[in-house]
Amino acid sequence: MHLVPVLTAENSCLTELDLSDNDLRDEGVNLLSQGLSSPKCRLEVLSLSGCLVTEKGCASLASALTSNPSYLRELDLSFNHPGESGLDERSLWKTPPESITPKILDPNTANRNLVLSPDNKRVEAVKEEQPDPDHPERFDTWKQVLCTDGLTGRCYYEVHWKGTVRIGLSYKGIRREGEDDECCVGGNDQSWALSCSPQGFTAWHNNTPTEIKPLEKTNSNRLGVYLDWSAGTVSFYFLPSIVSSIKKIHLHTFETTFTEPLYVAFGFEQTQELEDESSAVSLIQVE
């Protein structure tokens, strides 16, 4: 494989590599692993989706990445055949991200058209305004809520959603008063969000949308979110049903420089009709 000399070059500058939908198989992954095991390799993002890789190839990949202080922070092995003991991408990180369920949603930030569950881990948009007391941190117009604790470091959490929602992260200083987009999660330079609906996904930052290629099968309403605060990245993953052999599908990664702790944020569309099935988001325990 001609890529090995590139990966092992003294001043290698290759940081992203997409080999998706190639007939790579285990033999090709074994050769690729020779380059990945080199201390000179600077690869950060590797996509091997749909490359006919089996458990044998995954084992070779895992050995290469764990024997070298890898720079790799994203690995896509979707649409392969890793077997029951196949590779879990998170197991390859030298310092695995902390798998968390963010403690609770903050009732003091919740818009009055939102109802929180008794444990403050689920939020639902409703038509009737709730008799919540005034609070300076409450979103007065946008149907949004933040979690109580700011996140830094490397964190991974999962959510379940229904309807049309925004799932994101925000600095604490996001505006709470007003109808303009400066108050909307993903509508300003202080927040990053993924809009989720039955029609598909759209990434939002600074009120700029990035359309995401539709998935062939959306038999699940679960998402994984991986934050690497120091590296300045937040990634969103579609999580297929529990019975699926596919563990996660990468949807989008934001790249920036974070300067403050980030708060998990959930939002709902302003014009959304609530007569029918309502929209909701839940924090779920990571297994």
| For the chain, domain boundaries | 3-93, 99-284
In this predicted structure, what is the pLDDT of residue 41? 86
Torsion angles phi and psi, residue 231, rounded to 5: -80, -10
For the chain, the 3-state helix, strand and coil shares in percent, each to the nearest 5, are 15, 30, 55
Query: For residues 43 and 179, which has the higher predicted lDDT (pLDDT)?
Result: 179
Model confidence band, residue 237 (pLDDT cutoffs 50, 70, 90): confident
pLDDT at 88 over 60: no
- For the full predicted model, state whether its pTM sits above 0.75: no
Please give the mean pLDDT across all residues of the chain.
85
H or E stretch including 31?
helix 25-36
pLDDT at 5 over 70: yes
CATH of domain 99-284: 2.60.120.920
User: Are 81 and 51 within 8 A, CB to CB?
Assistant: no
Query: Burial of 113 by CB count in 10 Å (0-12 exposed, 13-18 middle, 19+ buried)?
Result: buried
Q: How far is CA 194 from CA 208, 210, 236, 262, in A?
A: 11, 9, 8, 15
pLDDT at 114 over 70: yes
Query: For residues 83 and 228, which has the higher predicted lDDT (pLDDT)?
Result: 228
Query: Burial of 90 by CB count in 10 Å (0-12 exposed, 13-18 middle, 19+ buried)?
Result: middle
DSSP letters for 122-149? EEEE-SSPP-PPP-TTS-SSSEEEEBSS
Query: Burial of 270 by CB count in 10 Å (0-12 exposed, 13-18 middle, 19+ buried)?
Result: exposed
Query: pLDDT per residue over 246-275, tens digit each?
Result: 567 888 989 999 999 999 999 998 765 554
- From edge to edge, which strands make up the β-sheet containing 45-47? 16-18, 45-47, 74-76
Structure tokens of 255?
Answer: 């790249």
Domains 3-93 and 99-284 share a fold: no
Query: pLDDT per residue over 163-183, tens digit each?
Result: 999 999 999 999 999 999 999
Cα-Cα end-to-end distance for the chain: 37
User: Are 143 and 111 within 8 A, CB to CB?
Assistant: yes
Share of the chain above pLDDT 70, in %: 84
* Window from 29-33, 63-67, 151-155, 158-162 with minimum mean pLDDT: 63-67
Does CATH number 1.10.760.10 belong to domain 3-93? no
User: Are 45 and 233 within 8 A, CB to CB?
Assistant: no
In this predicted structure, what is the pLDDT of residue 8? 85
User: Are 210 and 203 within 8 A, CB to CB?
Assistant: yes
